[in-house]
């Protein structure tokens, strides 16, 4: 799906597409070692937690912060990566499905992978994203992406979560992550 206008993206419909894609990837993986979902703070963490429940997976999804490994940490500080990393399972030897809301330059993904390796060496790391907006600065591509969207370089596409757990998008003018 290619859309020049981010506000036309239906986050709930894209979530359904993401859920199906993640289900197919998890079903195709060997049972051992077991796969684990890890969401990147904050939108990716919301998605991973909801996927964990909706797919009936045991345990809980992990949450990873990219803050400490960002190449712009000195400028942005902890605000760039949000909350603390919480991985309620052993990373070593496990297949990890990293989940994020919007993929743009690839810098957040790189930082999250660096953080993940601080906890052990996974057997494999795959990436599932709700929206890929292009503009890559690093050679990072998702294993699965629900949609592609085109925005101006000065715009930021953000996932929002309502009190009832439903997702929507907001578009903000300013610096993109």
Rounded distance between C-alpha atoms, residue 64 and residue 48, angstroms: 11
User: What proportions of the chain, in percent to the nearest 5, are helix, strand and coil?
Assistant: 30, 30, 40
The pTM of this model reads 0.89
Rounded distance between C-alpha atoms, residue 69 and residue 13, angstroms: 32
C-alpha distances out from residue 5 to 8, 111, 155, 168, 176, Å: 6, 28, 11, 14, 16
The answer to whether 176 and 153 have CB atoms below 8 angstroms apart is yes
Please report which helix (H) or strand (E) contains residue 171, including its range: strand 167-173
**Per-residue pLDDT of the chain in tens (177 residues, 90 and over written 9):** 344 444 579 999 999 999 999 999 999 999 888 899 999 998 999 999 999 999 999 999 999 999 888 776 556 555 544 679 999 999 999 999 999 999 999 999 999 999 999 999 999 999 999 999 999 999 999 999 999 998 988 899 999 999 999 999 999 887 655
The answer to whether 148 and 1 have CB atoms below 8 angstroms apart is yes
Please report which helix (H) or strand (E) contains residue 110, including its range: helix 107-117
Domains of the chain with bracketed CATH = 2-173 (3.40.50.2020)
């Amino acid at each position: 799906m290619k859309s020049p206008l981010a506000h036309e993206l239906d986050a709930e419909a894209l979530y359904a597409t993401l859920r199906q894609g993640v289900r197919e990837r998890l079903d195709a993986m060997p049972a051992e070692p077991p796969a684990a979902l890890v969401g990147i703070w904050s939108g990716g963490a919301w998605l991973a937690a909801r996927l964990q429940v909706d797919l009936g997976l045991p345990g809980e999804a992990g949450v990873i912060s990219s803050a400490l490994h960002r190449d712009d940490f000195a400028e942005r500080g902890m605000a760039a990566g949000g909350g603390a990393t919480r991985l309620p399972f052993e990373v070593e030897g496990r297949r990890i499905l990293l989940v994020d809301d919007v993929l743009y330059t690839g810098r957040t993904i790189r930082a999250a992978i660096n953080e993940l390796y601080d906890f052990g060496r996974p057997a494999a790391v795959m990436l599932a994203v709700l929206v890929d907006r292009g503009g890559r600065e690093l050679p990072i591509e998702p294993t699965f992406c629900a949609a592609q969207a085109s925005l101006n370089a000065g715009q930021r596409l953000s996932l929002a979560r309502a009190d009832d757990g439903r997702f929507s998008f907001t578009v903000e003018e300013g610096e993109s992550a």
